[in-house]
Structure 1
């Protein structure tokens, strides 16, 4: 049931965010021959920039979603988890936008050669949301063929889909735009709202503030039902689901929790352990 519901969500988004980059049609056999390794659609690299090789480590483990925290410092968008660790050489462009543009050129129009679903770039705003988003918007527009965009409510897919998270004030200037190259990361409070999936394609929230289970023992029935209700409601509206702050220490508890998340139709598993999640997903049937 969960897998069917998730496929329905992807169908609702259709040729939109979880859909396909417009590439020339080729015979199925030829397309398969030119494909690279199968991406891990459910894999989200939390705090990706803290790995030795930001972006590239996640792509090497076939992740299809990466997260970058940004700070507006002057007119620069710097990458880091805390303002005390910012480095003027570590910009959004140098670590993510320029490498992604080069990768898409090298891979003939997609991040993973032959796979048409866009890579999700989750951009977590750590400074004041409105001003930071406006600067981000200016940067994204410098890459006209890289990012999915929304014009007058219609989505035009690109190789990369930028989703804006973090400071909630970013929503105001985003909602006022008739054309955007970014989308909004909603919260559970946005579930069932009138905001369309073309604006809020992703619902994310803190696991620990919504559930008590951390993978030890049996998943309480009421919590399992609550989780499946969340994913069903989101998918019915064409939205995908992610939780942060899920247990991330390797072991049976994490595996049990990840198993329940997938069974419930959660679309992205959040981790800092790239190899661990890759191994976990590779041991399961491909969705």
Structure 2
């Protein structure tokens, strides 16, 4: 059974700042949301760029986390799952960064008007990890007015928090930086290693590597205990948790898994079905004000 060690978050991070970046569950500070739709703090749009309107559809369904795969091709950061999907006009800037910049400016500093919760932009690097990250860093610097950043271990939370996933070769250049406009997507092996939430605010893992249960029948007690242990260990480090490869076909099995994720306080629920998860969370996960 999974049982990582626990540690104390680096003091320089600061409890308030760390919790704002690391856990939407603890960052639900509302300015004045009376007339505005409530964003869904656990909703993560897997492969968001595959929807008819990348980013826009996720925001219309009140998602607070979106995922974009990027490739460094001829100096451009192109968005798509496979090389065959890439087209020159579908860049990270055109699909995500430019629309987010315009939206945050229009909303006076937030993605969702009246709410100060940051939008997580999970950027999955698909090729040439180090080179792609260094080019990404140069691009992100242009949008620094809306981004969360870390400077010598201290975090300032902005309207958009980029988190780098995918090619693990991006880690080394990120760790070497004194100023970063992005954070690192950790794995289960990173729990209990002493790496602070100012670098790894998110722990992501493949559901099927830890669990055989796919939503049919009751969840085995030992697997439920493992799920809760993983989440508790991450939250003790002020890190959020996301599972990918959870069942996502419409039906009772998917809802059973989603219920267990909610019960364990998993921070991000992964889906391609934006409307389906919106309905589920609107019913079962009440916002914190």
With normalisation by structure 1, the TM-score equals 0.91
* Contact 2:18–2:155, Cα closer than 8 Å, also in 1: no
Offset at 1:13? 2.1
Q: 2:214 and 2:283 mapped to 1: Cα distance?
A: 21
In the alignment, does 2:248 pair up with 1:248? yes
User: For 1:13, which of 18, 21, 24 is the aligned residue?
Assistant: 18
* Contact 1:202–1:240, Cα closer than 8 Å, also in 2: yes
Offset at 1:117? 1.1
Offset at 1:18? 4.4
Runs of 5+ in structure 1 lacking a partner?
1-9, 20-24
Report what 2:10 is aligned to.
Answer: none
Report what 2:32 is aligned to.
Answer: 31
* Contact 1:70–1:126, Cα closer than 8 Å, also in 2: yes
Report what 1:78 is aligned to.
Answer: 78
With normalisation by structure 2, the TM-score equals 0.90
Q: 2:157 and 2:17 mapped to 1: Cα distance?
A: 14
Q: 2:158 and 2:106 mapped to 1: Cα distance?
A: 15
* Contact 1:17–1:155, Cα closer than 8 Å, also in 2: no
* Contact 2:39–2:62, Cα closer than 8 Å, also in 1: yes
Q: 1:149 and 1:18 mapped to 2: Cα distance?
A: 16
Q: 2:66 and 2:119 mapped to 1: Cα distance?
A: 8
Per-residue CA distance 1:162-206 (angstroms, 9 max, x = gap): 000000000000000011000000001111111100000000000
Report what 1:197 is aligned to.
Answer: 197
Report what 2:157 is aligned to.
Answer: 157
* Contact 2:44–2:271, Cα closer than 8 Å, also in 1: yes
Report what 1:5 is aligned to.
Answer: none
The secondary structure found in structure 2 opposite 1:258 is: helix
Aligned pairs, how many? Answer: 270
* Contact 2:104–2:159, Cα closer than 8 Å, also in 1: yes
* Contact 2:242–2:269, Cα closer than 8 Å, also in 1: yes
Q: 1:17 and 1:209 mapped to 2: Cα distance?
A: 24
Per-residue CA distance 1:141-174 (angstroms, 9 max, x = gap): 0112111000010001110000000000000000
Sort the Cα spacing of 1:12 and 1:31 in 2 relative to 1 into closer, same or farther, 3 A. closer
Q: 1:11 and 1:176 mapped to 2: Cα distance?
A: 25
Two-structure CA RMSD over aligned residues (Å): 1.8
Per-residue CA distance 1:34-69 (angstroms, 9 max, x = gap): x52100000000000000000000000000000000
